[in-house]
Amino acid sequence: MKRVTALFLLSVFFTVVQVRADQDPPNFVVIFCDDLGYGDLGSFGHPTIRTPHLDRMAEEGQKWTQFYSADPVCTPSRAGLLTGRYPVRNGMSSVARVVLFPNSSGGLPQEEVTIAEMLKQKNYATAAVGKWHLGHLPRHLPMTQGFDSYYGIPYSNDMDKVSGSARYLSSDPDFYPDTTNYNVPLLEGDREIERPADQNTITRRFTEKAVAFIKANRDRPFFLYLAHSMPHIPLFTGEKFRGKSIRGVYGDVIEEIDWSVGQVLDSLRELQLDKKTVAVFSSDNGPWLAFKTHGGSAGPLRAGKGTNFEGGQRVPTIFWGPGHIKPGVVDGMGSAIDLMSTFASLAKVQTPEDRKMDSYDLSPALLGTGKSPRHEFFYWNRGVLHAVRSGPWKLHMQQRHFINYGRVVHLDKPELYNVEKDISEAYDVADTHPDIVARLLEKFRKHELDAEDSLPDQLAARIAK
């Protein structure tokens, strides 16, 4: 009798353990590249850059072919990802400044709720590794926005260029600059530990920090935000990757990032955390075409970084989570803005309810129980709404062209493209579809008003300085 009771209690115990394990909120890993183009991965069609780890990630997970960064440049793109809101709502997309600079005093406002802060509802361990670019002064660093720790270069790796140092030779696809030409700081927490940061080893060191964080937090839910400084110019790699890719320096850099992804996913596999982790790989904006072969490729998409053409904001995105993320190719729409609601849904926590959110829960598509709920996207540019997409249709009201980078082109009349039938935005069909132009124009105006309303006066006054 005693033995039966003991067995019974034992089985209850294991059932409870099992149920608890099933109910554990998943870990989240976001690997975010800087200026990686839509066409720069093997699995997204690049013929000469080898990305076996990312290709495996896509094979085991979901490849999203219509996924948008929140904005076509660094600072607002990151604000959108971390807050689930178009960055114009928190002053991070503005006409005053394209992105934050080393002499900026501003940053992501404290009243914003980030994914890291949201996940603290369930006591997640949180780490930011890599590029931050939402304010580099101590009052704006990741630890003020829900992250337990930070290690990285707090803004773009080309800032603080040493005056008089050699010019960047983007005309030479095999050119490696000197790392001391860029006097950027490397921070640990809010302490500067190295300056200039040795960027030759930066991808490797970010990777080591990321893996160490995963290992240290294997027994509790965690959120890792790994934002590589690469492949934003100036391009650097470790010795091991130098001169290896037939694509040149840019290929070397992507192949090191691919190695890094392999290290992160392998550590999750080894610790048997792969089945309880959702990993996302994406980019903050399209390729910086001004830097020729040192910039990436948007593949079949028009233009690149800084513009609201598809090449500026549609980015190669992969979701991975063996056993729960249903493998396949997803052609529904998604955005980095959606990570907040998606993670909230998977972790069973609440998104902020006291403000306007722009985040959709993509979990039905990820789990294979439904489709992406996102059917529209708004394209902002320096605090000004430029375009809207609804279903396959995209209406441009203003444009910023690559050749005129820095200058807005006001269109005499709106341009309309079907981006599913015409992926390169080559054929304006506004004249033959006046009804669709009118419908999208109404959405455009409505969103413009809605966004204006969402920005309190006191915030508007200290917009991205």
Q: In what order do the strands lie in the sheet with 384-390?
A: 376-381, 384-390, 393-400, 408-418
Judge if the upstream peptide bond of residue 434 is cis by omega within 30 degrees of 0: no
The terminus-to-terminus CA distance of the chain in angstroms comes to 75
Nearer to Mg ion, 35 or 40 (CB): 35
CB of 231 to Mg ion, least distance (A): 9
Q: How far apart are CA 181 and CA 159, in angstroms?
A: 10
CB of 77 to Mg ion, least distance (A): 7
CA-to-CA dists, residue 55 to 12, 49, 104, 321, angstroms: 42, 11, 38, 14
Q: How far apart are CA 280 and CA 200, in angstroms?
A: 25
CB of 35 to Mg ion, least distance (A): 4
- Does residue 33 carry a catalytic annotation? no
Nearer to Mg ion, 74 or 280 (CB): 74
Q: How far apart are CA 374 and CA 394, in angstroms?
A: 14
Q: Please give the residue ranges that form the binding site for Mg ion (CB under 5 A).
A: 34-35, 74, 284-285
> Do the Cβ atoms of 102 and 210 come closer than 8 Å?
no
Nearer to Mg ion, 114 or 229 (CB): 229
> Do the Cβ atoms of 416 and 428 come closer than 8 Å?
yes
Nearer to Mg ion, 69 or 267 (CB): 69
Nearer to Mg ion, 34 or 310 (CB): 34
Helix/strand/coil (H/E/C) assignment for every residue in 258-297: HHHHHHHHHHHHHCCCHHHEEEEEEECCCCCHHHHHHCCC
How much of the chain is helix, strand and coil, in % rounded to 5?
A: 35, 20, 45
Q: Which residue, chain included where needed, has tokens 């109404």?
A: 442
Which of 74, 232, 396, 447 is catalytic? The answer is 74
- Does residue 74 carry a catalytic annotation? yes
Query: Dihedral of CA 314/318/324/326: which sign?
Result: positive
CB of 301 to Mg ion, least distance (A): 16
> Do the Cβ atoms of 335 and 361 come closer than 8 Å?
no
CB of 133 to Mg ion, least distance (A): 8
Q: How many other β-carbons are positioned within 10 Å of the β-carbon of residue 405? A: 15
CB of 112 to Mg ion, least distance (A): 20
Nearer to Mg ion, 78 or 120 (CB): 78
Nearer to Mg ion, 335 or 372 (CB): 335
Nearer to Mg ion, 101 or 322 (CB): 101
Q: How far apart are CA 419 and CA 333, in angstroms?
A: 12
Taking CA 11 as the corner, what is the angle to CA 6 and CA 15, rounded to the nearest 5 degrees?
150
- At residue 399, φ and ψ (nearest 5 deg) are -140, 155
Which of 133, 136, 228, 386 is catalytic? The answer is 133
Q: How far apart are CA 137 and CA 87, in angstroms?
A: 20
CB of 261 to Mg ion, least distance (A): 18
CB of 256 to Mg ion, least distance (A): 17
CB of 439 to Mg ion, least distance (A): 32
Nearer to Mg ion, 113 or 280 (CB): 280
Structure tokens at 220: 């509790």
How many helical (H) and strand (E) elements, i.e. helices and strands, does the chain have? 11, 14
Q: Where are the strands (E) in 169-271, listed by range? A: 186-188, 191-194, 222-227
| CB-based burial label for 355 (10 Å; 0-12, 13-18, 19+) | middle
Name the closest residue to Mg ion (Cβ).
Answer: 74
Enumerate the active-site residues.
74, 133
